[in-house]
């Protein structure tokens, strides 16, 4: 009768968590991309509810687009009023002033029309 050796428990050889053929640098870039996508999904969490939209001539437009158009028109009217009152030459940084007025009007339109 052949004698059999009894061996102590030997743990299984350690395997890498990486897939075969994947280098450590590649794994780091995958983890970075996954972290970036996760962060972006966290930021987009506020987009869960449907955005307010307006039906204009049978098509639905986002409400912010209408507010932006109103702000743009307000900036153009502001520029025309400054030219008519001959204040355009006396006022420095006219582009920034008219843009700021347009933005304020657009934000106020959004706030008063849609309630924030």
How far CA 12 is from CA of 2, 20, 53, in Å, comes to 27, 18, 61
Q: What pLDDT digit, counting tens, does each position of 10-42 carry?
A: 666 666 565 565 565 677 788 888 888 888 877
| Nearest-10 crossing angle of helices 94-114, 63-84 | 140
Q: What is the mean pLDDT of residues 88-109?
A: 89
Question: Hey, what are 79's tokens?
Answer: 């520029």
Instruction: Calculate the CA dihedral of residues 95, 96, 98, 99 and round it to 10 degrees.
Output: 110
Res 64: pLDDT: 81
Interval 40-79: pLDDT, tens = 877 776 655 666 777 777 777 777 888 899 999 999 999 9
Can you give the pLDDT at residue 13?
62
pLDDT of residue 102: 93
Residue 98 has pLDDT above 80, yes or no: yes
Kindly tell me if the per-residue pLDDT of 2 is higher than 70.
Answer: no
pLDDT recorded at residue 100 = 93
Q: Residue 65 has what pLDDT?
A: 85
């Amino acid at each position: 009768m052949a004698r059999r050796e009894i061996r102590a428990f030997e743990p299984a050889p350690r395997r890498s968590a990486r897939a075969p053929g994947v280098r450590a640098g590649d794994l780091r870039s995958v983890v970075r991309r996954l972290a970036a996508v996760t962060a972006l999904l966290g930021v987009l969490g506020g987009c869960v509810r449907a955005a307010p939209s307006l039906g204009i001539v049978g098509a639905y437009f986002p409400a912010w687009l209408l507010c932006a158009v109103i702000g743009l028109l307000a900036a153009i009217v502001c520029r025309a009023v400054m030219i008519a009152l001959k204040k355009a030459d006396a006022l420095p940084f006219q582009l920034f002033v008219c843009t700021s007025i347009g933005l304020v009007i657009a934000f106020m339109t959004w706030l008063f029309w849609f309630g924030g």
